[in-house]
């Protein structure tokens, strides 16, 4: 039972971190996409795509985690397992955030001549 509790704590932490990333970047992303009238109609699409990418990256990081094998591990071992398992989801979230920023940078560089 304790390995499942550890896994659910891990999943809860990853979901909370994903929600924090999305909520902290959603409004600035909407303002950024509203600055160019050529992209403005697609603003909702880009924001929703960003949210989907972050949540799917978090889920892929969760799917890569393995459960603890033994039920007799101490609390600190479970805590270290959770922190060690956070490495992969956080890597995926940061990687896809950077790739999304690169895509938007290229998009704005190409559409820069349509600035208002």
Q: In this predicted model, what pLDDT tens digit does every residue of 2-28 receive, in sequence order?
A: 777 878 888 899 999 999 999 998 998
Q: What is the pTM of this model?
A: 0.77
pLDDT at position 114 is 59
Two tokens at 114?
A: 């349509």
Question: Which is higher by pLDDT, 68 or 86?
Answer: 86
Q: How many domains does the chain have?
A: 1
Domain boundaries, position 66:
2-114
pLDDT at position 9 is 85
Local structure of residue 112 (DSSP, 8 states): G
pLDDT at position 8 is 86
Alpha carbon 112 to chain centroid distance?
28
pLDDT-based confidence at 63, cuts 50/70/90? confident
Residue entry with tokens 């992969």: 88
């Amino acid at each position: 039972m304790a390995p499942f509790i550890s896994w659910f704590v891990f999943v809860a932490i990853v979901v909370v971190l994903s929600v924090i990333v999305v909520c902290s970047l959603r409004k600035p992303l909407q303002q950024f996409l509203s600055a160019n009238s050529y992209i403005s109609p697609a603003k909702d699409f880009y924001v929703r795509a960003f949210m989907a990418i972050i949540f799917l990256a978090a889920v892929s990081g969760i799917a890569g985690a393995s459960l603890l094998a033994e039920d007799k591990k101490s609390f600190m071992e479970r805590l270290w397992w959770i922190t060690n398992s956070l490495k992969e989801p956080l890597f995926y979230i940061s990687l896809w955030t950077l790739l999304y920023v690169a895509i938007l940078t290229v998009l704005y560089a190409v559409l820069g001549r349509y600035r208002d």
